[in-house]
Amino acid sequence: MKIIIIGINHAGTSALRTLLKQNSDLEITAIDRSDNISFLGCGIALSVSSVVKDVDDLFYSNARELKNMGANVLMKHEVVNIDTNAKTVTYINLNDEENPKKEYVESYDKLIYATGSSPINLNIANSNANNILLCKTYIDALKIIEKANDELIKSVAIIGAGYIGVELAESFIIKNKKVSLIDAKDRVVANYFDDELCYELENAMNKNGISLHLGAGVRGFEKNEAGFVTGVKTDTGIIKADMVIVSVGARPNTQLLPNATKIANGAIIVDEYMKSSIPDVYVIGDSAAIFNTASKTFDNVALATNAVKGGIVSASNINGIEIAKLKSVVGTNAIHVFGENLSSTGINEKRCQDLKIDYKVVQWTDNDRPEFMNEFNKVTVRLIYEKNTLRLIGAQIHSRSTKDTHMESINMLALAIQKNMTIIDLLTTDVFFLPHYNKPFNFIISAILKALDLCYLKENY
């Protein structure tokens, strides 16, 4: 069987490794327009703040490893067309300076489409000024780190207060830059958390010197005569900056499959085997829209965690292992900045309102261990559930402890959502109690008792 993989970053690398681990006889061609694979973007902010000492440590694989496994790996080759009727892929060789437009055609039995996503750029006045950067690739990372170490760059404006923007803001404060964080929304990380927990993060950012400009739409950039950015024009005024990072989201790279069934942002809908609506075409990673059990919609949850799972599932299906399925995603995520630990899964209140879901929410704050122990720390949980069925559809956890963050508890709540469990199912789940770790009624059970109006315990604000 002949398989072509387009895109060999996280999703494509995972598919390729799985395919050949399960069946070393497969004929695989893997094509990527970049010159590197497996770059972990999560380490960019950590490199700016020098937690990661060498940005090259952020790779976990390379073309040589995949070639040694038996694949034909074409780096710096770009796929320019796919004929899904003839089952062929057309690509050009970006290394070939003499014939840059020469096209090569290769046929496939199965196609794995793993072209991921690209950061959205702002097409506004002066957006071509120098020192306006994006944040995704290894090349982006090198540029950002170089500027972070440049003494002449005193102030940085970050546009977009999602995960990437918030993490970068912290890292530039550590680098002693003056930092402005700008977002059209009136909350930071508003897609994942409810106001109550967003405030905690915003307070911490304010205290640590970040200038927050929320509810500020960006209209353009100012630049000097040498062409370097000097400021960001917003609805609420001009924010001076020697450097700007645009992190306003990503768009799936799905233009090569115009006839596939897609959701509004262009991500391609796939089934539990990662099959698209086009025969023999699997779509994985940031290009895919997967069923979300919480919202009951197909969502583009652009996270590396889902990308690698999609790779395992698509490869297993091609190799005839039907049991491997990715039935749903729930967008489980976490963030750690300025000592604040936050994690969430499922959908938040805003999304419930947009989807017109009749929901209820309960929030519980308590010490994580009994007060008779030497050490105990505050932890807060929010549970969002359907009002009529009590089905859990969202959860968020916040703590400040460095010892037990309780962030991993979100994984149990994610599983509960994926399995369509109610808060009563959760209440009766057989979980342990040991004073070293938790209370007889741990913070999740206490929240459920409060939701059911059965709570006789006292909250600790």
Ligand X SMILES: Cc1cc2nc3c(=O)[nH]c(=O)nc-3n(C[C@H](O)[C@H](O)[C@H](O)COP(=O)(O)OP(=O)(O)OC[C@H]3O[C@@H](n4cnc5c(N)ncnc54)[C@H](O)[C@@H]3O)c2cc1C
Which residues are near ligand X by CB under 6 A?
6-7, 9-12, 31-34, 41-42, 44, 78-79, 114-117, 135-136, 164, 253, 285-286, 302-305, 307
- The residues that bridge with 91 in the sheet, in sequence order, are 79, 104
Residue with the two structure tokens 């950590």: 46
Shortest distance, CB of residue 458 to ligand X, whole angstroms? 36
Of 297 and 305, the one with the shorter C-beta distance to ligand X is 305
Q: Which of 10, 77, 213, 406 is catalytic?
A: 10
Here the contacts of 350-359 (C-beta below 8 Å, separation 24 or greater) are 350/190, 350/191, 350/194, 351/295, 351/394, 352/384, 352/393, 352/394, 355/295, 355/297, 357/295, 357/386, 357/393, 358/386, 358/387, 358/388, 359/384, 359/385, 359/386, 359/387, 359/393
Q: Do β-strands 378-386 and 333-337 pair in parallel, antiparallel, or remain unpaired?
A: unpaired
Six token digits for residue 193: 């958390």
Shortest distance, CB of residue 255 to ligand X, whole angstroms? 8
Q: Are residues 361 and 350 in contact, defined by beta-carbon separation less than 8 angstroms? A: no
Of 11 and 312, the one with the shorter C-beta distance to ligand X is 11
Of 164 and 269, the one with the shorter C-beta distance to ligand X is 164
Shortest distance, CB of residue 250 to ligand X, whole angstroms? 7
Shortest distance, CB of residue 13 to ligand X, whole angstroms? 7
Shortest distance, CB of residue 97 to ligand X, whole angstroms? 18
Active site residue 10: yes
Q: Are residues 37 and 62 in contact, defined by beta-carbon separation less than 8 angstroms? A: yes
Shortest distance, CB of residue 182 to ligand X, whole angstroms? 17
Closest CA relative to residue 173, chosen from 333, 339, 407:
339
Q: Are residues 141 and 150 in contact, defined by beta-carbon separation less than 8 angstroms? A: no
Q: Using the 8-state DSSP alphabet, how is residue 239 labeled?
A: E
Shortest distance, CB of residue 15 to ligand X, whole angstroms? 9
Cα separation, 87 vs 94, in Å, equals 23
Closest CA relative to residue 246, chosen from 143, 385, 354, 393:
143
Of 37 and 362, the one with the shorter C-beta distance to ligand X is 37
Backbone angles phi, psi at 113, to 5 degrees: -100, 110
What is the separation of C-alpha 339 from the centre of its chain, rounded to a whole number of angstroms? Answer: 20
Of 188 and 423, the one with the shorter C-beta distance to ligand X is 188
Of 304 and 455, the one with the shorter C-beta distance to ligand X is 304
Active site residue 198: no
Cα separation, 208 vs 178, in Å, equals 11
Of 231 and 311, the one with the shorter C-beta distance to ligand X is 311
Task: Report, as residue numbers or ranges, the catalytic residues.
Answer: 10, 42
